[in-house]
Amino acid sequence: MLLLGTAIVFGFLGSLHCLGMCAPLIWAVPQQEKTRTTWWQNRFLYNTGRALTYAALGAVFGLLGESLSLAGWQQKISIVTGILILIFLLSSKGVVPNQFQFKPLQKMIGVVRKKIGLMLQSSGSSAHFKLGLFNGFLPCGLVYMALLASISMGSILGGALYMLVFGLGTFPMMLAAAFFGSQLKTIKPVFFTRLVPTFVAIIAILLIIRGLGLGVPYLSPATVGEVEMTLCIAP
């Protein structure tokens, strides 16, 4: 599916955009491993935890998409989510925001940050995995937009899969940030920072086109529910 294919690129470009926000936390993760194998294992566990949290959030948004699909609103939801993403981009002047001001959300984020602070004082594989799980709840405009896109998958499994693929797309940059450490502090991916909003806008436009049901295979399939039926009547 074309929409699912955008998730991994979304995640990869997003990880470049969010390097300044996520990398400091990665560098703060305890590094007391005795072997290089254990080091890599813990970093994979940390990133796997993040991806699983994204998948769980995607399942919740996918449930919403499934409910709306059963009501026959799948095409409309695709258009609405595309428009919402464009509105977020325009309201932030073409820059993907790291967070949105919403008091209940801010309260939850405060709890998550306290948990992360405790995890940073621990070591071991389970601590790295749990740290990744909590990290997945930290505010990120790109994650929010990916969640909006996941609604258009129209099912719990589809939403979870979209966000899991999105999480996997962030692996290369996050692992590189952990491996190279402070050497990446001086890197400012300006090109990718400018490219991310453009790609997000393309995804939004694809969602809108998909919802229009123009009858274009894979890109904009005909409206769900409108099926031609031929009645065969014996002479």
- The predicted-structure confidence for 70-83, as pLDDT tens digits, reads as follows 777 777 888 888 89
Are 210 and 219 within 8 A, CB to CB? yes
pLDDT of residue 160: 96
Q: What angle do CA 112, 113, 119 make, to 5 degrees?
A: 90
Tens digits of residue pLDDT in 54-107 = 999 999 999 998 988 777 777 788 888 889 888 877 776 655 555 555 556 666
> Which run of H or E residues covers position 2?
helix 2-17
Q: Whole-model pTM above 0.85?
A: no
Q: Across-strand partners of 159?
A: none
Return the residue matching tokens 């609604």.
151
- Judge contact between 33 and 42, C-beta under 8 A: yes
Top-confidence range, 34-38, 118-122, 184-188:
34-38
CB 46 within 8 A of CB 132: yes
Instruction: Name the burial class of residue 90, with classes exposed (0-12), middle (13-18) and buried (19+) by CB atoms within 10 angstroms of its CB.
Output: exposed
User: Per DSSP, what are the bridge partners of residue 220?
Assistant: 216
